[in-house]
Every structure is written in C-alpha cells, then in structure tokens.
Structure 1
C-alpha cells in the first residue's frame, strides 16, 4: 500500500515473474481440467515436461513483446489486446513445438494438448487482465482514499475526445477528482451513459451545481470557439465553477495527460472569436521568395508577424528592433522553429536615418512591415518629444527609404487611437498615417531608373492597417489585472464605463498580412474588432475565473489617465467605410492630403520638436490633425488656441 501511495512502480522483472507464475498456473489448471483432476496419473506422466516447455516459451514471448514493461496502474485497452496477442502467440508456438518435435521425438502423447491450450488461452488471458485491472482499481481506490476531499468534475462533450479526457484524468495524478459526468448539447446523447457516467444537457449545469456541488468543468482547449461551449463556460463562470482546459490529445506526452498541462481558463480564451479565414495562396504568392523587413520585430505584434511571415518561406527576414534581450530571445525561438530560414537580426533605432539607410542598402528589402512604435498613452502624454521622434520621424525615415530603395509594399501597423485622437500617442500615429498615405497621392512621384536597363522601377505602395487592443500584448490591461489578482488586489480600473476593443495577436497579424496583400496603395484598412468590452466587466470575469468573488478582490476606480478616453473608435460606421472581399476588413474613408503640404507641416513639427518647445510642438500636431482634442491632459488649453 505504501508503494502505491508513493507512486512507485514495481520493477519490470517482478512483473515478468508474476505474469509467468499466472501463465504456468493457468496451464497446469487447464491440464488438470482436461485430465479431470486425476492427479496420480498426471504426476506419473509427462506433466512437468509439458509445463516446463510452456513456461520457457511463455517467458520468451512475453519478454519479446515487452508485456512486463508497462505500468500496471495505467493499463489500457491496448495492453489488454497485447496480452491476448502474447498468450495466443505462446499457445501457437507451443502447439507447433509439441506437434512437430516433442511428440515425435520423445513419443509422448498421453493428453490432447491442443484442448489444454484452448482452455489455457481463456484462463490465462482472463487472469492476466483481471490482475492488471484489479491492481489499477486498487491503486486509485487507495489514492482517492488518501487524497481526502474529492472535487466534483464535469467534462464538456460526449465524444471520443471527451472520453479520452475522462480516462486521462482518472489515470493521471488527479486522484481527488470525481468525474460526475459529461455535459453536451446534442439531444441524441442527453441522458445516455458513457463508461458509467451520465451525459447531461448544458442547460442543467446550474441544477447540477446545486445538487452535486460541481467544482470544475474540464474542456478541450481546441473546443473553446463554439457558441454552445462559450455559453456553458459563461454559466460556469457566473456560478463560480472553475473552468480548466486540457490541450489537444496529440500534445499529450506518450499518450498521457500531465497535470501541468491542465490549465485554468484564461480571460483571453473567453474573448476569442471564430477563426479568421484568410487567402493563404495569395499571401504566399505575395511573400514567398521575398526579402522582408519587420520593424519592432521583437515586440508583441512584430514578433508574431515574424512567425507568420516565416511560414510563407520568404528569401530573407530582416528583424529590426532596439531591444536587445527580446531580439535575442526571438532569434533563439525562430532558429529552433525555422532552422532553414534566413534571418538577419539588426539592432537599430528607426529615428536614426543613417543607420536605417545602411540597413536598407545592405539587405535591399522588397516588403516592409512597420510595427515599431511607442504605444502607451500616459507615457507619451508625458513625453511628446519621443512620440514624435519614433512614431512620426521614424515612420518618415522608413517610408522615404522605402521609396529610395524601391520597396514594393510598405505596411504600417496603426491603432484605433488615431481616430479622433485625444492624446499625443494617437495624434502621432495619425500624423504618420497622413504622411505615408500622402506618398501615394504624389501626382508625379519620381521613379528611380534601373542602372542597367534604364527602365522605370515600380512605385512603392503604402498601406495602413488599423485595429484596437490585442490580447496578451506587452503592457496590456489583462496581464496587469492578473498580477493584481495574484497579489490579492485591489484591481484598478480607470472608469466604470470605459470600454475597449480586443483581438488576439495571431488573428490581428493574419488580417495585417491579408490587408497587405489586397492593398493597392493609399488605403487605411480597418479590422472588425467585434463588440467592445467593458473593462470593469473584464475585471469581474477575471476575478471569477480565479475562483474568487468581489468580496475577495476589490475593484477600485482610479480615474481616467491623461489622454485617455472612454470609448475607442474604429470608423466602423457603414457611411465611413468601404467593404472589401474579406468580411472582417474594410477601407476607411478619410480625408486625403497633398504630399507637399503634408511634408511642409511635418518638417515644421520636427523642427519645433528639435528646438524643445513642447507647447508649440503640440500646437503644430493639432494643426496637422484638426480633430485632435486633448482629454484629461495638460494640453487641453491648446485646443482653444488652434482653430
């Protein structure tokens, strides 16, 4: 019993000996049965010869098939099949040896040995299987008894995968889990029993909670996107039932579910939407064999662009960032995942024109994905000079170099905060949008001449993509809330009515690649971000997902931060957007600017910024972007000065 409780396994040679004792005993019993237990005649005959030969053959077959190597507590249907096979092979081999060698050579044939083998097959295989199932049942009985209180668990689904999850939980170290049953929405399965467990309807979860005190709902992580499953999860969250996920079965190590693979449901899982369908063939045609520069490549969005772009087999990916450690970590990850890829890691600041010029000259990129930017609203409100240098000057440097070096496409990652901006960060991104869009409106854009053929080279196409917050990005609200919950609270929310749009990083990047493929130049693509989410509701759900209540974790409203507004805008209104062939991507109708006017305004902005005159610099930003009205900011007084 102590061995069981300590999770120690019997040595393999002991299991082999036990198996052979059972096999030999079974053979002897079969022999006695056929001879009607005539012990005096049996023992005077050739019983020991027959038994010795069978034991020798059985040992060799069982050893060769490695029947003794499995852990008895994890015995499965595959093990049962292997035992049947081993006993059958031993019987056939023994019958052949007796029939073709022992009987003719030793002239012993005093018993119908083939009938003995038939009886032995059923007795031996049955006892070997019963021994394993009995040991397995005893192990879990002892383990459950030692683990104290048991948690009542429901498993979502009633298909083969749900059954595998049930078996895996019973075979894992989760001895204190009591599988109550399955929940499903298929009417053909409701009230049926699977492996002695009843299938309930998902609408019965609340009733089951009252009756059986359900502690957990277990669900496969790959099944989170179904509406029915989401409803079940929402019900559990509201009832205080903890929801845990297990990875797809192909990710289980050696077919066994490990306890560290069972994860608590994250708020990101609840906010996910149905998978986005993109035209991979067109994206592949656009990226395959190309030299691609990705700025901000070590950041949340940039690194995901790197991952997805590499899957389309480009000729080279140039990853540019000024953050040394994240860039190094990304390099190690990509070298492991894409060992054949050609990667060029460049530590560089996009504000430095000469450094970026050298980078373009050395690698001559054909595509540029510009994700480098300062994005934190309060931080940029306190440091407008840096927002302008990176978000405006840095973008201008890259756009100008893209034209100089005949880049085919320049795709800029923008933000919903650029729409009717109320802060420095949003306004700086809007100015960057205006500049690169104006490059497509140059009526007679000078084109470089090929030094060899003298022909005109293709004009660079500038494309902007605009979306809201991404789940799991650096500095986003969700990691901050999670950290505050782990510390016992309180959770700080700026305002009870503040809302935001959310999208996962992979789906945002998928749409970036799709928009980049469809862009002809000059467009600002708007992504469908779904429904806005109230941040306070997000906080409450995260508290419940942690198995806590509002009594355990306090929510404190700290007030809107400088530059922050209650509602982000994406220009989703039909009259302000044009649909595309992709239902989740639209083109914004925005005012267009002439290149010369934009260039003069931005040059003046950069000069004012260089002189260090902060107020005049922000005034110029407001002149370039008339809809820029500061909120909760020290720059609000400037709005009345700029008409």
Structure 2
C-alpha cells in the first residue's frame, strides 16, 4: 500500500465515505465528533472535580497519578458511551430519552469506578478513587453532556426559525389530549405555532399555568380578554366539542379575524412530530351539523355476509364508498362495475391494499349495454345489487338529455329486468332529492327510473325486492359545491354562487352510504326511502365561511360573484322530511315516501316512446314524452320550458 493510496483512502472515508465518520454532511454532527466532545467534557469534569475535592483537605490515593486516573476514568466513560449509545441520536433533536441515556451512562461509569476501586482494595489493600470524587465527577459529567445537547438544540432551533413569524395559538380545552398537543408544540422544532395558552370551558383557573402558559375561561368576555395577548389562531383537539358549540366558537373567532385549526388526538400518532405536522386548517365539512348514525350491523351483516354483491357506478363517489362499507361485512364476492377506466383502476389498487381478504372482481362496463350485463348475471349468482351508476350534473345533463335517458332510465331498466330474471334477492337503487317535483332533465330521468322500479316491484312474476333510496347533495362528491369553492379560493377567486338565496341540504358520503345499506335491509319491496338531511345550508353563507376559514376576507381578498341560476337548477330543494309525503320508519333518519305505483305496462309504453325518441336524437320530442311519464316535471331556466306553457298558463 503506497502512501498516496493511503491518503486518498482516508480522505474518502472522512469526506464522502458510506460509514459512521462522514463529515461532509454538516446538517448534523457526525457521531465521532459527538463522542470526541463528550470525552472532552469528561476530561474537563475530571479536572474540575479533582480541584473541588482537593480543596476539601483530603488525601488522594497514590495508586495512580492524576493523569493516569484521568485516562482510566475517560476510558471507563467511553466504554459506557458505546454500551448505552449516548451518541446515537441527533443532537438537535435531543429528547428525554437522550438525557436518560446520559444519566444512565454517568451512573454506570460511577458504579464501574467504585467496583474497580473496592476490588483493588479487597485484593491489594488500597483504594484507587475517593468516593466524593467519583460522585462529583459523575454529576459534572452528566450536567456538562446535557448542557452541550441543550445548547446545540437551542442554537439549531434559533437559526432554523430565524426570520420566521410564528402564529400564537390557544388550545381549546385542558384535558390530557390537549396538554399533549401543547407539549408537542413546546418542544417541536421548525414549526409555525407558538403556544400562547389553553382555554377552559368549565371553570376559571386562577394563577395556574400549564407548560408555562396561562389558562383562559371561555365565556362572554373571552375574545375581549385575549385581545391584548396578540392571539392569531385557535386549535381544536380531537373534536371533543359538539358541532353546534364548535360552530358558535368558530363564528365568533372569524369575526375577530382568528384562524381556526384542528389537531389530532395524541393516541392517533406515534410521536409528537406527527402531531404537529398534522395540525391542519379546519375544513367546512367539519363544521356542518351532522350527527353520527347508529346502524344495525347485525341485520346488515345477515344480508351481505358470504353473498355476491354487484355495485354499479362502483368507481364513483357514492359507489366507491358503498364498496368500502360492504367490504367490512365479509361478502363472498364484490363485483365492481363502472365505465370509467382510470377511477376503477385506482379504486382497485386501494381496495386490494386495504381489504386483501375480500374477493373483488373489477369490470369495465356500461349499464346501457344489456348483453354485457347479461354475461355478468349469467356468470355469477348475484344476491344483492346496489345501483349507483348515473349521470348527475344538472346543467350538463340539461344540454345532453339523450345520455341521461339512456343511462339513468334505460340503464336502470336493464339492471332491474335482469335482477328480476336472475332472481336477485334485493335491488337497491340510489336516487336523488332532485327527483322530487323535478325541474331538470336529470331529476326527471331519475324519477322515471324510480317509477319503473316501483312498478316492477308490484309485478307478480318477480321475487326480487326492489328498494329505492333518495337523498340530497353529498359533501365531497365529484363536482359538488365545496370542492368547487375550495378550488376557486385557491385560485384567488372569484367564488361563484348562482343565487343569493339558494339553499341546499348536505350529507357526508359515508353517512349517505350507511343509510343506503340500512335501507336495504328495511325494504320489503316497492318502497322509496328518503333520508333526513338535517337543516338546509344557505350557499352564500357557505361561501363566506369557507373564504374566512381560508384566512381571507370576503369581498376584499376574495370576491363572491352571483352568476344566476344554471339551466334546470332549483332555488330551493324539496324538504324530504315533509310529513305530508313521508312516513316514519324504525330508523329516525330514514322515512318512507308515500308513492302511488303505475301499472308496469303503462310505464313500459312511456319508456319505449322515450327510448325511440332518444335513439332518433329528437330531444324536444323525447323530453315531451318524459313529461308525460313524470307529469310533475316542470322545467325551470331551461329551453324545455316551452313544453310547459299550457300547464303554466292553467
């Protein structure tokens, strides 16, 4: 080995090498530097301890000279460093565990030194170290190593946050979860929050602090009380407040230009860094007043367990959630049918990961193509069909009515007929509140599908129980208003509202699908179940609140623009809980609509005429025939209003 090769090798190891002694990556102190500094602290502690003990007028043992004692003590400490791994953690992220390691290493080193000293005394009649010296040396070594780590940690935190403006926040509550989040904020590096205090909802705390931060009582003067504290935001922890109480606080906070955040419970994450990184700005969905649903899992399990289930529109917002929920009941097989290739592919990857024990069959197919459906029913003994495939966007369907007729009506006819033919036990159709007194083609096409399913349920030749479920707008579904508003806010506005007084009912996707499963077991055939949607939401108020929750001022930072009702759009959706048209069931959130069935032959004659017009592309004639089947269909803000002129004049 030449000298030049040796120099190149040493340079490689110290500068770029894949080893424990890299010095190039100065984002953290290499381990050998940490060990070297710790050993320097041990030597310095020895000198200080030796000097202090010398002032006590005691006589040192003369077995070893002072330099020899220093070397021996240093080697003992070095050995415990390697045994315990005091150098293993990143100095800038030192925690209580690292401090404990240092304390344990100092204690262990002292015990070794004492053992050696007394062992030597036992065999040779003389001790090596004075006990006061060992105790003082251990204390100084521990303090020195701990201070080294705390200083590095503080310096790193200082330079990391240099120039950053931190948000002063109050944590809502004083329970264990909230205090744990406060601890995470206090010790976390490189984060944007500064803990300014806690908020108590029950009693007033006098002169009591938690983590050095004061506790404020939430009362009528709360916001005036915190005004001098320069508070920037409130953080709710683990959703322990009711939506009603949370909404009241949020509304008041937004009036005072405070930001609102949500933090997870301590039990949700493995460490405090995860908690801080998952403090997120509160979402409007978290504030809508929805209550948990209690399902009869036993009965749902009885009709889904070990059965073959077909879910159409299975890659859509509603269909995919039905698939997820059905998967929990251990069916024999789930057939997921959709014509959208990419969404079906991504859903397949998700489900195979999350439910590896479920037997899935993912099929590309169109409910309009009856031959494709026949093959599916012939190959599989299907017990339950959840029919969620549909076109649903009102303005788009108003411009493309033929597609709605073919998918929403004829696709339903295909599936319902095959379900009856192949003796499927239950057929559950997902409908919409827009089918109630429809003002657009989409709603009317879904109402026509309801009419056909209802008529087929009364046919004596069928053993299938046909059940229809009807609900309103779903939070987070494809094309729904909340994701649309979020995107507009991210782009800087304007946020577009179709009318100042337009209102809508909202339900979460999981909630809607849970009620679909529940209605599936309640139905005996022919029912139209409608869901309690809660209180309506004024869309203009929704837009204002979403803008303020995003940290902007409506009308100043983000404009709200009224663009007028879109073709076929209603100003007010029908109240699904109208007692004049619904009857209660044993589930408080599900009601049964009173619905007079039409004769199956009459319904078929109407549908044949509608289908013929659709085939010929005669939109006006087709919609006129649809209005014959659905006489309550009165178009609004649409080119098809001309077909209603005689009715409106009456």
Deviation at 1:282, TM superposition (A): 2.8
Q: 1:223 to 1:55 in 2, by over 3 A?
A: farther
Deviation at 1:45, TM superposition (A): 4.4
User: Paired residues, what number?
Assistant: 622
Tell me the residue number matched to 1:75. 94
Deviation at 1:232, TM superposition (A): 2.3
CA distance in 2, matches of 1:185, 1:602: 61
Task: State how 1:542-581 maps to structure 2 within 5 Å.
Answer: 542-549=546-553, 550-581=555-586
Tell me the residue number matched to 2:470. 466
Tell me the residue number matched to 1:450. none
CA distance in 2, matches of 1:82, 1:137: 20
Tell me the residue number matched to 1:454. none
CA distance in 1, matches of 2:606, 2:206: 68
Match of 1:500 among 498, 504, 510: 504
Deviation at 1:109, TM superposition (A): 1.4
Deviation at 1:257, TM superposition (A): 3.2
Q: 1:518 to 1:67 in 2, by over 3 A?
A: farther
* Residue range with higher mean Cα deviation, 610-619 or 534-543: 610-619
CA distance in 2, matches of 1:27, 1:526: 81
Deviation at 1:386, TM superposition (A): 1.0
Task: State how 1:321-336 maps to structure 2 within 5 Å.
Answer: 321-336=338-353
Task: State how 1:178-577 maps to structure 2 within 5 Å.
Answer: 178-187=194-203, 192-203=208-219, 204-208=221-225, 210-220=227-237, 222-223=239-240, 225-250=242-267, 252=269, 254-257=271-274, 261-271=278-288, 273-442=290-459, 444-446=460-462, 459-549=463-553, 550-577=555-582
CA distance in 1, matches of 2:521, 2:46: 73
Question: Gapped runs of 5+ residues in structure 1?
Answer: 1-5, 447-458
Deviation at 1:94, TM superposition (A): 4.4
CA deviation profile, 1:109-136 (whole Å, cap 9, x unmatched): 15553x5544455444444434433443
Q: 1:496 to 1:355 in 2, by over 3 A?
A: same
CA distance in 2, matches of 1:582, 1:192: 48
Q: 1:18 to 1:630 in 2, by over 3 A?
A: same
* Residue range with higher mean Cα deviation, 171-180 or 520-529: 171-180
Q: 1:557 to 1:111 in 2, by over 3 A?
A: closer
CA distance in 1, matches of 2:101, 2:580: 68
CA distance in 1, matches of 2:74, 2:306: 65
Q: Calculate the TM-score normalised by the size of structure 1.
A: 0.89
Please tell me whether residue 10 in structure 1 is matched to residue 29 in structure 2.
yes
CA distance in 2, matches of 1:8, 1:118: 36
Tell me the residue number matched to 2:21. none
CA distance in 1, matches of 2:598, 2:65: 106
Tell me the residue number matched to 1:456. none
Native 8 Å contact 1:272 1:503 kept in 2: no
Tell me the residue number matched to 1:108. 126
Native 8 Å contact 2:63 2:128 kept in 1: no
Task: State how 1:86-101 maps to structure 2 within 5 Å.
Answer: 86-99=105-118, 101=119
* Residue range with higher mean Cα deviation, 42-51 or 561-570: 42-51
Native 8 Å contact 2:264 2:275 kept in 1: no
Q: Which has the higher contact order (CA 8 A, sep 6+)?
A: 1
Tell me the residue number matched to 1:169. 185
CA distance in 1, matches of 2:120, 2:429: 85
Q: Calculate the TM-score normalised by the size of structure 2.
A: 0.88
CA distance in 2, matches of 1:133, 1:625: 76
Deviation at 1:602, TM superposition (A): 2.3
Tell me the residue number matched to 2:172. 156
Structure 2 counterpart SS, 1:236: helix
Deviation at 1:469, TM superposition (A): 0.8
Native 8 Å contact 1:524 1:588 kept in 2: yes
* Residue range with higher mean Cα deviation, 30-39 or 465-474: 30-39
Native 8 Å contact 1:526 1:570 kept in 2: no
Match of 1:62 among 66, 75, 81: 81
CA deviation profile, 1:321-344 (whole Å, cap 9, x unmatched): 111111111111112222232221
* Residue range with higher mean Cα deviation, 132-141 or 356-365: 132-141
Deviation at 1:423, TM superposition (A): 0.8
